[in-house]
Amino acid sequence: MDFSEHVISKIAEKRTPADLTRPLPEKREMDRPRESRATRLKVLFLITTFPLSSETFIQREIRCLRNLPVEIDLYSLWGGANEFEGLKVNRFPKWRLIALLWRLPYWMARKPSAFINLGKHLFERQVKTPLDFGMTLVGIFFAVCYASHFSQPENRPQIIHAAWATMPATAAQLLRVLLKIPFSFQAHAYDIFRNGGDWLLPSKLRESSLIIVSTKYGRESLISRGGDASRIAMIRQGIDEFPPQKTLRKKRAPLRILSVGRLIEKKGFSDQLALLAELKRSGLEFEARIVGGGRCAKALTSQWSQLCLNGTVQLLGPRPNGLVIEQLQWADVFIYTGKQLANGDSDGLPNVIAEAMAVGVPVVSTGVAGVREAITDEQTGVLMRNLDHNAWRSALERLRDDDEYYMGISKKARAWVNTNFDARTNVSHICHQWRVLLTRAKTSSSLYSVNSLNNPSIASHAASCDD
C-alpha cells in the first residue's frame, strides 16, 4: 500500500455516519507511484456479454480500472469480442461444458455444502422467465468449469466482481464458496426491478461482500428487501472523458429535440412518438431525432409512419457513442419519456441523461425512478408529471424563448455531472471498497461460509457512498 492509499484508508476508518454522505478523496495520478505486480489488486471481472455498444458505462469502468493499481482478468460469459482496447477478453466457449461430466462430481464431493445451499437458493423463489432460468444455469456451469483454473496460485484472484446481478453474479456467488474468495456485484435497474429482480437476488444480497448500486432509489429498494445497508454502496456510474459544453444557439426555432436510448418498452418511445405527433398538431415548430436500436424498432417505425412524422422526426437507428455526442451538440433539448412497466421494470438513471447534462443540453423528462436524483425541476432540468402535450409544449417553449433560463439549467446540469458523474473518481471509490473488503476478509475466516453473512458484525465492512 502506497502513502496516498494509506491516507485514504485511515480517513475511511475514521468516517462517522455523517461522513458517509461525502465522497472519499480522489488519488491524483501524480501521487501514484509505479506499482509492483505484487501490490496490484487482482480482480476477476465477470460480464454477461462484452463489449456491447449499449453498455458503454461498463467500458468506461474498465478503462478507469486500468489506470488504477488493478490487474483485471476479464471474462465474457456469453459471446463478446476477444479483446477490448488491448485488454484480453476471455470468452466462455460452450464446448467447455463437456467438462461438467467430471468437474461437477469433483466439486460436489469436495464442497457438498455449497451445492446443498445452491439448491435451497433455487427453490427459495419461483423462477419468473425461461431467460432467468437459462442465465442462472450458465452462471453455475461457468463456475463449475472454471473453479479449478481459478484455484491455481497464478490464476487466483483476490476479488471476484460481477458487472450484473444476473448470470455473472451467479457465477461469482458459487465461486465464492468453492474457492473462499469474496465477491462483489453491481445491481442495475434491470437486476432489481424486472419481475421482482433476479431469481437468486435474495441469496446474493446475503452472501455478497459488497453490492454496488448507481442510484439512491436502487439502494433503498435493496435495503427494503432485507439487504444489509452496510454492504450496499451507492456509487454512481460516470463519464471518463467529458465532452465540451455546447454554445447557446441564439435562434432556437425550429427547436431541435433529441432522444437517445434502446428501443425497448420501458424507454417509452411509443409514448414519445404520440407526444411528438400531438406537439406537431398543436403548431410547435421543431425537428426531432431519435437515436437507438432494439426489439421495438419495427413497431416504432410503423407507428412513426402512421403518425405522419416522416417530415419532422428522424429515426436514426443505433449510433456509436462518439456520434451520439455529435447529436447532443446538434440538439437544443433532450427529452426522456421512460416509464415503469407492469412487471416492475424501469430505468434507474440513464447514462445518456447525464451525458446530455454534461454537454449542457437541458433535459426535459418524466420523473421515473432515479432520474429525480439528477434532475431538480427548473434547476438542473425540467421534470414532467405526465405526457400531457400542453404541459410539454409550455416547457419546451420556455427553453426555446428564455436564454437566461436555458443557460441557468445548462450550467447547473453540467456542475451536477462534474460533481457526481466523474467515472475516474467513482471507479476509484469502487477500488477503495474492494481494498477495505480484503482488509476485513483477512480477519474474518468465516466470511466464506454459506451462512456467515447473516451476521451483521461480519457484514459491516462496506460503507455506503452517497452524493
Query: Residue 28: inside a domain, yes or no?
Result: yes
Q: How high is the pLDDT of residue 24?
A: 40
Structural domain span for residue 362: 255-420
Of 420, 438, 462, the one marking the end of a domain is: 420
Report the pLDDT averaged over residues 416-425.
Answer: 97
Residue with more model confidence, 446 or 325: 325
On whether both 157 and 273 belong to a single domain, the answer is: no
Query: Residue 465: inside a domain, yes or no?
Result: no
Q: How high is the pLDDT of residue 54?
A: 84
Q: How high is the pLDDT of residue 125?
A: 84
On whether both 232 and 329 belong to a single domain, the answer is: no
Is 17 a residue whose pLDDT tops 70? no
Q: How high is the pLDDT of residue 444?
A: 65
Q: How high is the pLDDT of residue 368?
A: 85
On whether both 118 and 196 belong to a single domain, the answer is: yes
- Cα–Cα distance measured from residue 452 to residue 437, given in angstroms and rounded to the nearest whole number: 15
Is 456 a residue whose pLDDT tops 70? no
On whether both 401 and 446 belong to a single domain, the answer is: no
On whether both 343 and 384 belong to a single domain, the answer is: yes
Query: Residue 119: inside a domain, yes or no?
Result: yes
On whether both 88 and 180 belong to a single domain, the answer is: yes
On whether both 200 and 77 belong to a single domain, the answer is: yes
Is 462 a residue whose pLDDT tops 50? no
Query: Residue 286: inside a domain, yes or no?
Result: yes
φ/ψ of residue 234, rounded to 5: -90, 100
Query: Residue 41: inside a domain, yes or no?
Result: yes
Q: How high is the pLDDT of residue 177?
A: 96
Report the pLDDT averaged over residues 434-451.
Answer: 69
Q: How high is the pLDDT of residue 38?
A: 53
Query: Residue 319: inside a domain, yes or no?
Result: yes
Query: Residue 395: inside a domain, yes or no?
Result: yes
On whether both 143 and 225 belong to a single domain, the answer is: yes
Q: How high is the pLDDT of residue 4?
A: 41
Q: How high is the pLDDT of residue 165?
A: 96
Q: Give the model confidence (pLDDT) of 34-91 as tens digits.
A: 444 557 899 999 999 999 988 999 999 999 999 999 999 999 999 999 999 999 999 9
Q: How high is the pLDDT of residue 31?
A: 39
What mean pLDDT value characterizes the chain?
Answer: 88
Q: How high is the pLDDT of residue 2?
A: 44
Report the pLDDT averaged over residues 293-310.
Answer: 96
Provide the domain count of the chain.
2
Is 30 a residue whose pLDDT tops 90? no
Residue 394's domain is classified under what CATH number?
Answer: 3.40.50.2000
Return the percentage of the chain with pLDDT > 90, whole number.
77
Report the pLDDT averaged over residues 365-381.
Answer: 93
Is 178 a residue whose pLDDT tops 80? yes
Report the pLDDT averaged over residues 23-37.
Answer: 42
Residue 378 pLDDT grade (very low, low, confident, very high; cuts 50, 70, 90): very high
On whether both 232 and 333 belong to a single domain, the answer is: no
On whether both 284 and 381 belong to a single domain, the answer is: yes
Q: Give the model confidence (pLDDT) of 101-152 as tens digits.
A: 999 999 999 999 999 999 999 988 888 889 999 999 999 999 999 999 999 9
Q: How high is the pLDDT of residue 329?
A: 96
Residue with more model confidence, 437 or 451: 437
On whether both 340 and 316 belong to a single domain, the answer is: yes
On whether both 428 and 380 belong to a single domain, the answer is: no
Q: Answer for the pair 79, 94: CB distance below 8 angstroms, yes or no.
A: no
Q: How high is the pLDDT of residue 401?
A: 97
Query: Residue 463: inside a domain, yes or no?
Result: no
